Structure formats: structure tokens, C-alpha cells
Amino acid sequence: MALGITLSVMVMEIVGGVLSDSLALIADAAHMATDALGLGMALLAIHFANRPAGPNRTFGFARAEILAALANCLLLLGVGGFLVFEAVDRFITPAETKGGLAIAFAAVGLVANIVSLSLLMRGQKESLNVRGAYLEVLADTLGSVAVIVAAGVIMATGWQAADPIASLVIGLMIVPRTVKLLRETLNVLLEAAPKGVDMAEVRAHITALPGVLDVHDLHAWTITS
């Protein structure tokens, strides 16, 4: 359902961005395109992750979710960089944005994003893959707010620079959350110790068992989130 909502609003915002000549609205639509792709990958990864293990894949496809989370991170970083570049270009070659149209389209996008967030809220606490999709929609929700504020400023003051500034904000706010998720995802892929597990305590607990003299090669890792 979240995927269907995202695709519908993305098309609407592209049309709205072209009609209103709003870079911020087009930026929001571009981010929604990555949302749609991210949600699609998340659903596909969950489908693969539920496949049973076999003799050649003893853990099954459990890591499919982590790979989807990694792909989402790379997409988000790419979109963030693109939006920053386009915003700087709009500062150099300004265009007149129709604030009223931009507000109308962005308001519909905001409502749709809030609905999608509510659908993804529960799953994002349990899966890095779903969290990646949740963060994409969250950033897009904030992007819709930025578009509305920028369009309101343009309508009230005629200050056209508000539109590329909003686009720049949308691009920049994507990066910090994405870097955090990327770090967590890479930790799983590099088989770092699970979060919250103190290896020294694990070693001490094992060596305290009767008959255990020492632990020579201790490893702990996470297969999936």
C-alpha cells in the first residue's frame, strides 16, 4: 500500500513541479522516485529473506534485506548529491516559481507521506531494510514541508530564492540519516559483533564454565537485522 501511495504522489508532484516551475517540488518528486524503488526493493528482499535455507545456502537468503538496505543507502546519497547540485544551479540561473500551485501539490504529498509513515512505523524498529524505506519516506515528508514553506514565502514576499533553498535543504537533510544507516548496514556485512554484545563479557562467561580453560577463537556476528 505504501508503495502504491508513493508512486501515485510521485507522478502528481512531477506534474505539479513542471506546472509551477518549482525545483523544490521536482526534488521532492525525485526523492519519491527513490522511495518507490526503495520500497520495492524492501518488499522483494523480504520475499527472498523468507525463503528456506538449502544445502548450498545454509543461512538462506536472510542477507537479502541487508543488501536492499545498502542499495537504499546508495540511492539516497546519490539523490542527495543531485538535489544539492540542482539547487546551486538554480541559484545561478533563477526561475519564477508559482507558489500557489506548489503549495497545493506539496500538501497532497505531505498527507500521503504521513499515511505511508504510519504503515512503516512498526516494521522500521525490527528491520534495517524497512528502516531504510521508513527513513526515505520520513525525509520526503520533511521535504514536502520544506516545499510548502518555500512556496508560502514566495507567495508572501516574492523571494524566488526560497525555492532552491528548500531544494538544498531537502538534499542536505537526506545525508546524515543515510550515513548512519549505511554504517549499521556495513557493520552487518563486515560481520561486526552484534550491537549491544560485549565480547569480553561473552568470553568471561564461557571461561567461567566448568572444564573450560580458555577461549582461543571467539566470533559473533549478525546475519540480518
Enter the pTM of the model. Answer: 0.69
pLDDT band at 68 (very low <50, low <70, confident <90, very high): confident
Residues in CB range of 209: below 8 A, 6 or more apart = none
Task: Report whether pLDDT(172) > 70.
Answer: yes
Q: What average pLDDT does the segment 122-132 reach?
A: 69
Q: Which domains does the chain possess?
A: 2-190 (1.20.1510.10), 193-225 (no CATH)
Task: Report whether pLDDT(141) > 70.
Answer: yes
Task: Report whether pLDDT(216) > 80.
Answer: yes
Distance from C-alpha of 109 to C-alpha of 98, rounded to nearest angstrom: 17
Distance from C-alpha of 14 to C-alpha of 203, rounded to nearest angstrom: 56
Whole-number pLDDT of residue 30: 75
- On whether the CB atoms of residues 60 and 46 are closer than 8 A, the answer is no
Residue 139, CA atoms < 13 Å, CB-side half-sphere: 34
Query: What is the three-class DSSP state of 69?
Result: helix
Whole-number pLDDT of residue 146: 86
pLDDT > 70: what percent of the chain?
94
Task: Report whether pLDDT(225) > 70.
Answer: no
